[in-house]
Amino acid sequence: MKNPRALLFALAVAVVAGIAQWRYVAGRERALLWQSAPMATLVALQDVPAHFRLDETLVEVVDVPQRWRQPRALASVEDILGQITAAPILQGEQVVSTKLVRADDAGLAYFVQKKHRAVTLAADDLSTLGGHLKPGNAVDVVGTFDFGQGETSDMRTVTLFQNVRVLAVGSDVGRPTPATIRTSADLADPGSGSDLFGAERHAEAHHAEPSRSVTLELTPSEAQKLLLAQELGQLSLTLRSLWEAERFVDLDHATIHTALGVPQQVRYQARPRYRLIQSGGF
């Protein structure tokens, strides 16, 4: 062999080129295999409008190549249960988390049953049972009205509705709100540690204040009657026991005679439910 060094150099170059080519091909193969790897993905079985509650009948799990899988696409039916669409989802479209909202973020309308309405009543500390009324409780709506004519008073108290569900008391819907939620960052920040529990106490004190409204769940016809009754008389709420077996109880109207136990007519004198005290002047 006339030039063995040249031959060895050529062999070395060939080996290096072969290794480089092998590594390139292997890398491309891995990339293609990764892109084509099947991944479980939720796909809509039909067109789903916005503000619609999802369930297992509206989606199916299919294998989609990873390259074609949308960012934040969901993979399990359990991921969509109890959630609501924030935007329409078309048939065959991948279900992504950015198009869904949780029930707590959907507002009070999500918790109103079908064929029912949420109706808000003006309230004070007395009609909200001293602040002990909570969302989710069941109440009876009681109204006091004057059925008299002219100078004759005929006051009667009537139970208008029984076993009515309380949806909200003031702004309290019985669930955490962004104002009351704390994160681990609050505990990790030494500068905010002293204020964290103070903010919680402030929130508790705020919720302890008498609420000025109570939101009830009624049928549309009951809502009409309740709003009219609120204009005609004075409404109050009575709290039902959590262990109440009977949903409805037969009650007679309470009159002045049955309440006081006297046969004589009593003239009712309406009094304001509050006094306005102003400083300065007489």
Residue 95 or 154, more confident? 95
Supply the DSSP string of 66-131, one letter for each residue: GGGPPTTB---GGGTTT-EESS-B-TTPBPBGGGEE-GGGS-GGGGSPTT-EEEEEE--TTTTGGG
pLDDT confidence tier of residue 202, bands split at 50, 70 and 90: very low
What's the pTM value of the predicted model, to 2 decimals? 0.55
Highest mean pLDDT: which range of 17-26, 116-125, 180-189: 116-125
Q: What pLDDT digit, counting tens, does each position of 248-261 carry?
A: 888 887 887 777 77
The reported pLDDT for the residue numbered 103 is 67
User: Coil, helix or strand for 255?
Assistant: strand
Query: Closest by alpha carbon to 136, among 117, 162, 163, 116?
Result: 163
Instruction: Set out the domains of the chain in order of their start, with CATH numbers.
Output: 38-105 (3.90.1210.10), 109-172+211-260 (no CATH)
Beta-bridge partners for 63: 40
Beta-bridge partners for 278: none
Give residue 184's identity as a one-letter amino acid code.
S
CA–CA distance, 167 with 172 (Å, rounded to integer): 9
